[in-house]
Structure 1
Amino acid sequence: MKKWMAPAAALLAAALAGGYYLYQREAEAARQGTLYGNVDIREVVLAFRVSGRLASVLVDEGDSVQPGQILARLDVEPLKNSLNAALANEAALTARNALMRKGNRGEDIAQARARLEAAQAAVIQSESEYRRQLDLVPAGGSSRQLLEAARSQRDQSLAQRDAAAQQLKALVVGFRPEEVAESDAQLKQARASVASARLALKDASLQSPSAGIILARAVEAGSMVQAGTPAFTLSLRQPVWVRAYVGESQLGKFSTGTEVRISSDGRPDKTYRGVVGFVSPTAEFTPKSVETPDLRTALVYRIRVVVGDADAALSQGMPVTVRLAQ
Structure 2
Amino acid sequence: MFKRILLILLFIVAAFGVWYLWQEEIVRRSADALPEQIVYGNGRIEADLVDVSAKYAGRVLQINVHEGDLVEPGQVLATLDTAELEATMAKAKAQLAEAIESLSETEAEIVRYEGELRLANQNLKRTEQLVRRNAASQEEFDTRKTQRDSAEAILKVAKAHKRTAERAIEAVEAEIRRIQTQIDDFTLRSTVSGRVLYRLAEEGEVVAAGGKVLTLLDLSDVYMEIFLPSSLTTQLSIHAEARIALDFAPQYTIPAEVTFVSPEAQFTPKQVETMKERDKLMFRVKVQIPRELVKKHIRRVKTGVRGVAYVRLDDSVEWPESLNRRFPEAVLADGNDESDNQ
For normalisation by structure 2, the TM-score amounts to 0.63
Counterpart for residue 224 of structure 2:
242
| Equivalent position amino acid for 1:93 in 2 | A
| Residue 318 in structure 1 maps to residue 305 in structure 2 | yes
Counterpart for residue 119 of structure 1:
none
Question: % of aligned pairs identical?
Answer: 25
State the SS of the aligned residue for 1:194. Answer: helix
Alignment of structure 1 residues 1-326 onto 2, 5 Å: 28=32, 31=36, 32-97=38-103, 104-106=110-112, 170-175=153-158, 177=160, 182-308=164-290, 309-310=293-294, 311=297, 312-324=299-311, 326=319
> Quick check: 1:39–1:314 contact (8 Å CA) kept in 2?
no
Q: CA deviation at 1:30?
A: 8.7
Shift of the 33–108 alpha-carbon distance from structure 1 to 2, 3 Å rule, reads closer
Shift of the 272–109 alpha-carbon distance from structure 1 to 2, 3 Å rule, reads same
Q: Deviation per CA, 1:222-264, whole angstroms, max 9, x where unpaired?
A: 2223332100001111111211111122224431111111011
| Equivalent position amino acid for 1:79 in 2 | L
State the SS of the aligned residue for 1:44. Answer: strand
| Equivalent position amino acid for 1:240 in 2 | V
Distance 1:101 1:304 in 2: 67
Distance 2:188 2:301 in 1: 27
Q: CA deviation at 1:74?
A: 2.3
Which has the greater radius of gyration?
1
| Equivalent position amino acid for 2:304 in 1 | G
State the SS of the aligned residue for 2:271. Answer: coil
Distance 1:276 1:102 in 2: 71
> Quick check: 2:60–2:202 contact (8 Å CA) kept in 1?
yes
Distance 2:48 2:278 in 1: 26
> Quick check: 2:71–2:196 contact (8 Å CA) kept in 1?
yes
Counterpart for residue 6 of structure 1:
none
Distance 1:226 1:67 in 2: 24
Counterpart for residue 141 of structure 1:
none
State the SS of the aligned residue for 2:216. Answer: strand
Q: Deviation per CA, 1:99-153, whole angstroms, max 9, x where unpaired?
A: 556752418986xx9xxxxxxxxxxxxxxxxxxxxxxxxxxxxxxxxxxxxxxxx
> Quick check: 2:114–2:155 contact (8 Å CA) kept in 1?
no
- Residue segments in structure 2 that go unaligned for 5+ positions in a row: 1-23, 120-146, 313-318, 320-342
Q: Deviation per CA, 1:59-102, whole angstroms, max 9, x where unpaired?
A: 11122222222222223332222211111222322343455567
Distance 2:184 2:74 in 1: 13
For normalisation by structure 1, the TM-score amounts to 0.66
State the SS of the aligned residue for 1:317. Answer: coil
RMSD, aligned α-carbons: 3.4
Distance 1:167 1:58 in 2: 67
Q: How many pairs are equivalent?
A: 252
Q: CA deviation at 1:318?
A: 2.9
> Quick check: 1:109–1:171 contact (8 Å CA) kept in 2?
no
Shift of the 61–270 alpha-carbon distance from structure 1 to 2, 3 Å rule, reads same
Distance 1:223 1:166 in 2: 67
Higher RCO (CA 8 Å, separation ≥ 6 residues): 1
Distance 1:99 1:296 in 2: 81
> Quick check: 2:59–2:81 contact (8 Å CA) kept in 1?
yes
State the SS of the aligned residue for 1:196. Answer: helix
> Quick check: 1:261–1:323 contact (8 Å CA) kept in 2?
yes
State the SS of the aligned residue for 1:202. Answer: helix
Q: CA deviation at 1:180?
A: 5.6
Distance 1:98 1:241 in 2: 63
> Quick check: 1:276–1:303 contact (8 Å CA) kept in 2?
yes
Q: Deviation per CA, 1:249-301, whole angstroms, max 9, x where unpaired?
A: 22244311111110111221331111111112222222222110001121111
> Quick check: 1:259–1:275 contact (8 Å CA) kept in 2?
yes
Q: CA deviation at 1:181?
A: 5.4
Q: CA deviation at 1:207?
A: 1.6
